[in-house]
Structure 1
């Protein structure tokens, strides 16, 4: 374990689907971090979207056979949950101040310090992508690559801001009611999936959460700062996925356009919403395999350097990171069986 004056762990003998959960006390409050895999392997840090824990956001990607062979074989995974988003979390005290985007990013640095990590790969979805992008802009030397799914980078549009405000008020007064669940499902998935999912499936994703903690994270994202200027200076290699039906499709295109073309690749996934990790994970893995090959990671893993050392992207081909070559739309891939009514 790494030493840090700001971070301590509460030892818990708790295992979740093969991962061990750690409670890490950061300078801005505790976080739940679930660790999967060999601690000697390179680190991949994940961060989910609003109202999701790591299982609800990433299980489709990490637990399909292709995902296991590519990701769990090459990385030790550090799944960071937003404050109070893990299942079984208690409500954060109303006396605790709301965290800013900067403070959420600082929590990631504290997590890395606790586990003794220096340079990591990051994978985030929507709000989680915003937090990890901000983290990479503040701690440039600690991020060797970004994989972002339907990311945010600007301040909310008036439409998004107003929608978030309305839903925040409903969430505050009525908790995780049906209207909030429906709004969140539409945030995550395409119309095709939303039309085939019934109430029990949405409850599997969203029940068991502390509504007050979700409210806090949503408030933080509604007050987020614009990262446009920081993007222009960001030089870590970045792979962006966005579903063509994502409410944040234009945000992802804007972000890709503002980043240095030498470091950015954009993939639009057809017939998909924001949560590509769950709706069409196989559409991600094909491109991710090429992206990670530039870091010396293969299926199976063939690392020529010490696995604990930072990943060294010394031989990424220019073609891989060219928007002209990578900015293509993938054909729809059916990854779920439709539920019969």
Structure 2
């Protein structure tokens, strides 16, 4: 794959034009004005740039629309609101996100994508944030009688989103319900997915006892508590009272309650994904994710058991399990720097961003090797097929840098921390 080039970060770079330093002072005046002078006393002017200013402003306005575009994509299962950041390039995948229940793309991913380490990635990739129907901010109430889409049907809206933005392939990053949706999408459309980062994925159908409990207790007053127990572990619920109170307030006051209830019911009605692990050395046509996958979970997350189980059923040559230390149920919120660093490593494994050095990344284990050696000795194609089933732990060290220990193991469901 070709080495990616960064997107222009300022509109003034459009079409090769750039504002000179005098543009920061009084250069844009009428022609009689005395402009700034250089060391020799000669007048400096911006007249060539002024001549091109109308065309430049026209293209700046156009690029601004392209770099940050919101769209309501019509699908057979309702309107899907999306936020597109960046310019789609045909030879490069787009990072596509999908949020969990009780969240939308802003509340789920803002801390991660606003982090400086993640912005280094978004210089090279455009990003498409997808909201489940009715979960965006200030959403209108979904009409009574509308059948909210199932998890499978939500996955079927993704191709229409890609078609709308002319996206050829994606690298997905999703949490909880969103992780289930993108995994289902990748199973049906493997040719459209180059890689997946799945946080807190639960591939099993809901336990019948939980289903009965929800029916008996009623949905309206039960939804906030259910979402909190879904997103946060018991330790965090009992110790971090302020955070839980803030989140409860968010669920009750910032999200359309009717729409949220429908999304939660859809998630709790999900079916098993039925992913199968290929037998060792066999090339059987089993139902499994074809793309490299990074499974992520915090060490105190309520989703640990579900993620470990999903990992045990994945293709061991294409899957890495990342268990993050000192982290609860929202790794993208609790440890954005660590997750961004792991995401950069994952993207480099796909053959992209080879020039970006992983200065805070260390690797150890029976097959330890340096990142520089990987970049020097492996072609993008070789790197794309280098993935092996690994367990990963990320722990804090004294200088708050990220340490990633890659442990090769013959026990794929063992998680190290």
The alignment's TM-score, normalised by the length of structure 1, stands at: 0.79
Relative to structure 1, is the Cα distance of residues 223 and 185 closer, same or farther in structure 2, using a 3 angstrom cutoff?
A: closer
Matched, 1:55 2:115: no
Which residue number corresponds to residue 10 of structure 1? none
Structure 2: tracts of 5 or more residues without a match: 1-63, 278-286, 358-378, 402-417
Deviations 1:219-259 (A, max 9, x none): 11111111124674321110110112222211111111111
Matched, 1:322 2:376: no
Match of 1:96 among 129, 146, 156: 146
Alignment of 1:255-334 (within 5 A): 255-298=310-353, 314-316=381-383, 321-323=387-389, 326-332=390-396
State the Cα RMSD in Å: 2.9
Relative to structure 1, is the Cα distance of residues 300 and 314 closer, same or farther in structure 2, using a 3 angstrom cutoff?
A: closer
* SS of residue in 2 equivalent to 1:170: coil
Which residue number corresponds to residue 130 of structure 1? 180
What is the distance in 2 between the residues matched to 1:99 and 1:166? Answer: 23
Match of 1:139 among 189, 205, 209: 189
What is the distance in 1 between the residues matched to 2:110 and 2:325? Answer: 21
Matched, 1:65 2:120: no
Structure 1: tracts of 5 or more residues without a match: 1-14, 303-311, 336-341
Cα deviation for residue 204 of structure 1 reads 4.4
- Which has the bigger relative contact order, CA under 8 A and spacing at least 6? 1
What is the distance in 1 between the residues matched to 2:247 and 2:175? Answer: 20
Relative to structure 1, is the Cα distance of residues 166 and 265 closer, same or farther in structure 2, using a 3 angstrom cutoff?
A: farther
**Contact 1:69/1:299 (CA < 8 Å) preserved in 2?**
no
What is the distance in 1 between the residues matched to 2:154 and 2:304? Answer: 24
Aligned length: 300
Which residue number corresponds to residue 272 of structure 2? 226
Structure whose CA Rg is larger: 2
Alignment of 1:1-341 (within 5 A): 19-40=68-89, 42-70=93-121, 72-162=122-212, 164-165=214-215, 169-171=218-220, 174=221, 180-190=223-233, 193-194=236-237, 195-198=239-242, 199-200=245-246, 202-204=248-250, 207-229=253-275, 232-298=287-353, 314-316=381-383, 321-323=387-389, 326-332=390-396
**Contact 1:46/1:124 (CA < 8 Å) preserved in 2?**
yes
Relative to structure 1, is the Cα distance of residues 160 and 253 closer, same or farther in structure 2, using a 3 angstrom cutoff?
A: farther
Cα deviation for residue 181 of structure 1 reads 3.5
